[in-house]
């Protein structure tokens, strides 16, 4: 089965301070891992597609080091901002001329958390679509998707080709081995200029969360702490009347 996994370069949201460090989106890493697990048992091919500025090539290399076969970088000009609408159209334009069985994306990206691109892409390509997948299994020319719903898990059978967005609860993405890292340097990354698309939204600024005053630790016997807490909630916070 041929998987095409859409990956994205995002700021490292786990960093204690803003460092400008860019990483592979965690949801996309889970999508790559799941495709690798399926193809390791069933055979197949895994290609990566990334829409981003020239430096994003480094992020593609990290995903290739996990074990993907090859990649295409749809290059955006430096500072050219795009939203989910624009990215979905750029990807749809690319996939019109390429073969695949399954397109995987992360269910959202760590920077905007909008979670819209996968659904828009499926609509533009007129393909069957499943969201928030926590498990995948190939059965012939069909894909069995376990997705996390609001009240429990659902199991869907999708014909291929199809689009699936993946949760980061799906698996624990592998850490690339030294052999994988060295091999990624020899794998081909095809570069194409991304078509110019209109963004419907614009990021004005990205700021760290504002600081807050430290909490108060109450000490003493349980009864004393309860009385002190009630007093503070009433007199200081105004939450109890």
Q: How far apart are CA 197 and CA 68, in angstroms?
A: 28
Q: Decide if 132 is inside a domain.
A: yes
Return the pLDDT at 196: 84
**Going residue by residue through the chain (241 aa), what tens digit of pLDDT does each one get?**
999 999 999 988 776 556 678 899 999 999 999 999 999 988 889 999 999 999 899 999 999 999 999 999 999 977 676 899 999 999 999 999 999 999 999 999 988 888 999 999 999 999 999 999 999 999 999 999 999 988 899 999 999 999 999 999 999 999 999 999 999 999 989 999 998 888 888 778 777 777 788 888 888 899 989 988 888 888 876 776 6
Provide CB contacts within 8 A for 108, sequence distance 6+.
27, 114, 115, 165
Residue range(s) defining the domain that contains residue 229: 211-241
Same domain, 126 and 14: yes
Do the domain assignments include residue 37? yes
List the CATH number of the domain containing 119.
3.40.50.620
Give the chain's domain count.
2
Q: Report the pLDDT value the prediction gives residue 18, as an integer from 0 to 100.
A: 60
Residues 141, 29 within the same domain = yes
Residue 74 lies in a domain: yes
Helix orientation angle between 26-42 and 57-66, rounded to the nearest 10 degrees: 40
- The reported pTM is 0.82
State how far the Cα of 163 lies from the Cα of 120, in Å rounded to an integer.
10
Q: How far apart are CA 28 and CA 127, in angstroms?
A: 20
């Amino acid at each position: 089965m041929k998987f095409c996994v859409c990956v994205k370069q995002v700021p490292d949201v786990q960093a204690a301070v803003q460092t400008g460090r860019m990483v592979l989106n965690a949801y996309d890493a889970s999508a790559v891992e799941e495709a690798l697990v399926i193809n390791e048992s069933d055979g197949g091919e895994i290609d990566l597609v990334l829409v981003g500025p020239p430096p994003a090539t480094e992020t593609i290399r990290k995903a290739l080091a996990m074990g993907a076969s090859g990649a295409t970088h749809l290059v955006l000009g430096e500072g050219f901002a795009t939203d989910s609408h624009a990215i979905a159209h750029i990807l749809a334009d690319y996939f019109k001329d390429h073969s695949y069985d399954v397109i995987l994306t992360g269910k959202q990206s760590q920077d905007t958390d909008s979670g819209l691109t996968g659904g828009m892409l499926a609509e533009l390509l007129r393909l069957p679509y499943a969201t928030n997948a926590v498990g995948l299994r190939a059965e012939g020319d069909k894909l069995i998707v376990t997705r996390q719903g609001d009240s429990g898990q659902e199991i869907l059978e999708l014909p291929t080709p199809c689009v699936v967005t993946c949760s980061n609860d799906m698996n624990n993405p592998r850490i690339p081995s030294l052999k994988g890292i060295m091999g990624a340097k020899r794998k081909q990354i095809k570069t194409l200029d991304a078509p110019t698309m209109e963004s419907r939204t614009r990021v004005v600024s990205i700021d760290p969360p504002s600081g807050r005053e430290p909490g108060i630790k109450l000490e003493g016997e349980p009864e004393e702490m309860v009385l002190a807490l009630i007093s503070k909630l009433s007199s200081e916070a105004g939450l109890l009347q």
